Amino acid sequence: MIKFYHNPRCSKSRQGLDLLENTGKDFEVIKYLEESPSKEELQKIIGYLGIAPEALVRKNEAIWKEKFRGKSLSDEEILNALVQYPKLIERPIVINGNKAVIGRPVENINKII
């Protein structure tokens, strides 16, 4: 089943949800700010995306700027920051099987559904 990591307050995330709803396919919505992904789950998502953990970080978020910007962080430290502050996770993320995309632009979602 398709998984959609969603932040209802994000316009791109809402657009991605609309796109998925219009496909008629079954999918699960995970409101990741309410149900924060575990470190292991994030590692799996990053593997599906084929990116480094730092590429999943929203670097314009105030939390990142205040606590982490300019620091040399290991992948482990970045993962810990994402678990502690899920607002830092880029969104939306769509997973289908063992493939995933970040829905920015929203059209990226079409690549895996």
What pLDDT was estimated at residue 73? 97
Q: What is the mean pLDDT of the chain?
A: 96
Instruction: Determine the average pLDDT of the residues in 28-56.
Output: 97
> How far is 103 from 89, CA to CA, in rounded Å?
12
Catalytic positions, written as ranges: 10
CA distance 4 to 73: 28
85-109 mean pLDDT: 97
Tell me the pLDDT tens digit for each residue of 52-71. Answer: 999 999 999 999 999 999 99
Stretch 64-91: mean pLDDT, rounded?
97
pLDDT in tens, 9-24: 999 999 999 999 999 9
Burial (CB < 10 A; 0-12, 13-18, 19+), residue 63, is: middle
CA distance 109 to 19: 8
How many Å separate Cα 2 from the centre of its chain? 14
What homologous superfamily does CATH list for 2-111?
Answer: Glutaredoxin (3.40.30.10)
